[in-house]
A = this chain, B = another copy of it.
Amino acid sequence: MAAVVDEGSFGRAAQRLGYTQSSVSQQIAALEKAVGGAVFDRPGGPKPVRITPLGKVVLTHGRDLLDRAQAMATALDRFRAGQGRVDIGTFQSLSNVILPPVVRGLRDEFPGCDIRLFEDETETPQVGQVDLMFFDRRIDGDVEHLKLLDDPYLLVAPRDDFPAGPVRLSRLHRKPMVAWPPTCDHPRVEQAFAREGAQPEIVFRAAANEAVLSMVKAGIGSAILPRLVLQGANVASDQALSIHELRPPLPPREIVLLWQAGRTHSPLAARAIEIAVDVAATYRPQDQTRQGRA
């Protein structure tokens, strides 16, 4: 409004805006009523109108307001273009295997985006504080799940501890084992052992996968780990270790992507879900051999 009248007269300003002169006059009158004083001096003749001191105050702040509105519009455009921010919760195993290609794919498509990762190792992660969260089991609450893949548990042992090929769970009874702490998915593993009447002897617990594998490699015992972990650590090519399927197979670890129920995703988050599904597909069991060597 006032910003345009700097260009001369009410009529010319109106022309420039596509309004009529009367409309601009009414707008200015309304503005002057609102601020309680004249914002323009009208000399009366063909002289140009001039702004008053009060008008200068209004003009300065008005411009500022318009600038802010413009900034908001561009921020919305950036958001719609996906150049916003997405917060992703993750956990240790995923950070090394599935997450990197997801992040890479997202950054390729949205070069300006802001991806923030949160490794949340608490037992009850805060889904509400991130846009998406990877997790290794379903959780209760106001949460939507999207299952990415089943990650079967395998036995990794010092070479020659067991003959090549599948190993029966019952053979692990009273055998020394290295395991995750109970805060991870491991309780389900140990329940499966109990159902088979086998009770291995846990000689060490560590949350870090590297630590568990080092223990096994040192001959302290064997371990039950998901295939994804073994792939990430490149265990298959390690001459000191051997990998065995289990009989009967343990219920696999589920890799799920979850978010607050009913949440409307940003374009960035929506695309992240799609990419995660695609990436997870390349890790499905039938592709395991190819991917495991890649």
**Chain B residues near A37 (CB, 8 Å)?**
80, 264
Residues on B with C-beta less than 8 A from A109 are none
Task: Out of B53, B64, B84, B262, name the residue touching A53 (CB < 8 Å).
Answer: B84
Within 8 A of B (CB), among A68-107: 68-69, 71-72, 75-76, 79-80, 84-86
Whether, in the assembled complex, A171 has its beta carbon less than 8 Å from a beta carbon of chain B, the answer is no
Decide: A263 and B50 in contact? CB cutoff 8 A.
yes
For the A-B complex with A50-B262, A53-B84, A61-B71 known, give 14 more contacts whose Cβ atoms are closer than 8 Å: A36-B76, A38-B264, A41-B262, A41-B263, A42-B262, A43-B262, A44-B262, A52-B263, A52-B266, A53-B266, A54-B266, A61-B68, A61-B75, A64-B72
* Interface residue count on the A side (C-beta < 8 Å): 40
Contact status of A68 and B76, CB under 8 A, knowing A50-B263, A260-B50? no
Chain B neighbourhood of A75, CB < 8 A: 57, 61
Asked if A207 is at the interface of the complex by the 8 Å CB criterion, the answer is no
Whether A54 contacts B261 in the complex (CB less than 8 A), given A61-B75, A68-B61, A71-B61, comes out as no
Cβ–Cβ contact A68 & B65, under 8 A: yes
Knowing A262-B41, A262-B43 are in contact, say whether A79-B54 is a contact too (CB < 8 A).
yes
Q: In the complex this chain forms, how many copies of it are found? A: 2
Contact pick for A264, options B44, B52, B71, B261, CB 8 Å: B52
- Contact assessment for A72 and B76 in the assembled complex, using a CB-CB cutoff below 8 Å: no
For the complex, give the distance between the alpha carbons of A76 and B37 in Å. Answer: 10
Residue A245 interfacial (CB < 8 Å): no
Closest residue to A269 on the B side, CB-wise?
B53
Which single residue of chain B is at the shortest CB-CB distance from A53? B266
| A174: Cβ under 8 A from any B Cβ | no
Chain B neighbourhood of A84, CB < 8 A: 53, 57
C-beta contact mask, A177-207 vs B, less than 8 Å → 1, else 0? 0000000000000000000000000000000
Is there an interface contact between B53 and A79, defined as CB atoms closer than 8 Å? Answer: yes
Contact with B along A27-39 (1 / 0, CB 8 A): 0000000011110
Q: Is the beta-carbon distance between B36 and A80 smaller than 8 angstroms?
A: yes
Nearest B residue (CB) for A131 = B53
